[in-house]
Structure 1
Amino acid sequence: MEARQHTWSSILRWPSSPDISSCSPSATSSTSIRRLNIETSLLSTRGFRALIEKCPLLEVLHLDVSIFMLPGSIWGMLATQCPRLRILSVHHANTACYLPDPKALHQMFPNMEEVRVQPISIAAVLDKLGSCLERLELEDVPQGSDSDDRDIANTVSLSAQWTDLWNLGSLREVGRWTMAAVLSNCHQLKMIDLGRGVKIRSAHVEGILSRARCLKSIRIDSGTLIVMASDLVASEWATTSLRVLSMGIDLGQGYSEQSNHASLAEVNTTTPFASCPLQRQLLRRIGTQTMLQELILGSSRRGQEESEINHEGKYLDVALASGLDELAGLKELAVLDLGDLGHTVDMEELERICRQWPSLWRLRGVIRTWMPQPGAQERIQIRERRGLAMRCF
């Protein structure tokens, strides 16, 4: 992750214990305050000025403006008195009129890293924010907001500088317009989290992978969006520097019928998996990402009630016959999550996993903690349940 990330966010994320909470001018006389949490309904403009004058080292400021109308003069006041300000958070802003033009804001605060706004109406904020910084995070937009797919698309299109897009799929409004904007502006994208992606399609994921040459992390909640393997191999991936790959992948009709299991209860079967050309092709593609540190093929983030398997054997597996050897180049792999894949693995494959990835320290999705004796034909069902995690031996 970059050492310094810039964020314009539509959701407030604030430290749980700021240095001063609901401040008044008499709350402190210290000049060493670095964080302030101010409910501005308690302060007049004069009181706000008096408080800020006591905080020349201020770096983090949270303003709750649910009642108080912020005058435009406070920005010049802050720039003069608090030149070190790097994080500004505005809570309960009814419109974006409280914030100056983004470029002007950065001229006033050269150290500014993050501007976080939680508005009641997001559309005006989306229209005004987002042309300067590198990270856009969209999550938990208040119910009843007047944003729509085109509003968000316009924000994404404002700048080709976006490097991080987080929780994009958490907004129900995100759809084809937003994704078209993402695909047009993803060449410098380094990290993207598509969340649940209700209206995002598998082809959009393929488009990102084939265009985002700087991409290091792509995360998708596989509880909602399942990516088709055929889409993932349709085009060459633009990046070779992925660190995190997290998604549910469906092999669809390309999966060998011999690999389908009539019942997931058949955990002791000795019938080997049939090789699937599509799966091997995809695993070979993943295997080219030699910097990969996290490979998450299941859906561990979902609750137990959502994680009951009904995959009919169409998801990826890590059987030797299916292409486990294609991943041998992932020497930096530290986390392997196989939750909810719904297949079994024998001792030979487990030993291969541990031998093949020397940096592996977490293996998720192994439901049983016992290991069969060497040479035994029993199999261990790989399936995530209750967040079970085991350290690789």
Structure 2
Amino acid sequence: MVNTINRNLHTIKTVLLTGCLSVYFMQSHAQDTAVNKKLSPDSNMVYCPEPPNAKEMKERITDPYHFSLTKKQVNNRVKIIAATNIVGYSGAMVALYSAWYKNYPQTNFHAFNDIGEWKGIDKIGHAYSAYAESKASMELWRWTGVDRKKRIWLGGMSGAFYQTVIETLDGFSSEWGWSWGDFCANIVGSGMLVSQELAWNEQRIQFKFSFHRKSYSDPSLNQRSDKIFGNSTAERFLKDYNGQTYWLSANLKSFFPASKLPAWLMVAVGTGAEGMFGANDNIGKDANGNIIFNRTDIKRYRQWYLAPDIDLSKIKTSKKGIKVALNILNIVKFPMPSLEYSNGRFKLNAITF
């Protein structure tokens, strides 16, 4: 549903940008004050001066704050992040309910099946939203200094939880309903982050997003797009499934550490769809059920892409501000040439967004 994904994408971008900015600025400050301290063996520290095994040595790299902060510092940071999550998300949900749900009739909790809508692109959008929110939340929990598994599970499942709350509100609205397809997509998105952290201590395969604004030579298609997706570029960015592409980008160096491949090189597989001017078909009706738009002559089809990509987080820089920006931008697919498969044939694209 257009309206559901619109609310979800608003939530993910707000949470993600706030979370990423917070964690990277807090990390930059903490690195100057805590990580480089020399700690005595008898102090009340989580830090152990002599790592007993290879596992702990790896965790010192992935979770440095767990070994460099006192227990008191860890507890204080946990309180800060817990309060930030509770207050921030509760406020966002109250605002969302006041601005949206209370204006529509409520009913008993119910479910509906929207699995076939928008050729599945909205479901991929749910998975991406949960993944990105979980990634931002996990980095905040990493900053607290809690142990590795707590950081992974607390942060990693946050996205699925955030999205499920919204899905529950949909379940009580007569205009929509609880969607098992959306719920499963949320779990897949968060599960993708959690499973990689548990297995590899890193995100070797990253979920990314790109967008290009669609414009048509047929005025009726532009008018239909304005009606259901919005006029502004910002609205189209959030709602227009025809212009959205979702990617899974794999870091090659992570899979082949002994190779001479650059650390920033990635290979991405993407998918999108075209020709969609309605959730299930290209027919639009007014409030009385009269057909006001009928373009069943336009084919609705999926697209698949193969393209190189750049892992912006692997670009070395001594500038903290640039490092913050690169980490935030890493959830977006870098425009690159691609090989596309759609409508039963292959073609090369000079640039794909």
User: Rg larger in 1 or in 2?
Assistant: 1
* Fold equivalence (TM over 0.5): no
Q: Please identify which structure carries the higher helix content.
A: 2
Higher relative contact order (CA 8 A, sep 6+): 2
When normalised by structure 1's length, the TM-score is: 0.25
